[in-house]
Amino acid sequence: QLLNTIEMIKSKINVNLYIEGVVLTMYDSRTNLSQQVEAEVRNHIGDRVYNTTIPRNVRLSEAPSYGCPIFAYDPTSKGAQAYMDLAQEVIENG
């Protein structure tokens, strides 16, 4: 549905609209559901899915309630590290 919506916007409003990349968030590699969703997304979107996934992480959930970005709240958390890894991947891919 998201891809159809983007195509509709592209055809009627903004011909320059495109997907730079897709980030899998709230990812838990221990669950079949996360693995199935990842497989489906990669199957439909392919190389536009970033390799870095953002895990389910309590610290990521807590940070907004304290009015802080994760890098101020807990920069050593797995969630913060995942976002740093994603930033590096985006930079490397141009």
Which band of pLDDT confidence, cut at 50, 70 and 90, is reported for residue 94? Answer: confident
Cβ-in-10-Å burial (0-12, 13-18, 19+) of 29 comes to: exposed
Containing domain of residue 8, as a range?
Answer: 2-93
Provide the domain count of the chain. 1
CA distance 90 to 92: 6
| Per-residue pLDDT tens over the stretch 31-59 | 999 999 999 999 988 899 999 999 999 99
Q: Please enumerate in sequence order all residues whose Cβ is within 8 A of that of 88, keeping only pairs 6 or more positions apart, or say none.
A: none
Give the global pTM.
Answer: 0.83
87 sits in which H/E element: helix 78-93
Closest CA relative to residue 53, chosen from 88, 20, 29? 29
pLDDT at 10: 94
Asked whether the predicted pLDDT for residue 16 surpasses 80, the reply is yes
CATH number at residue 61: 3.40.50.300
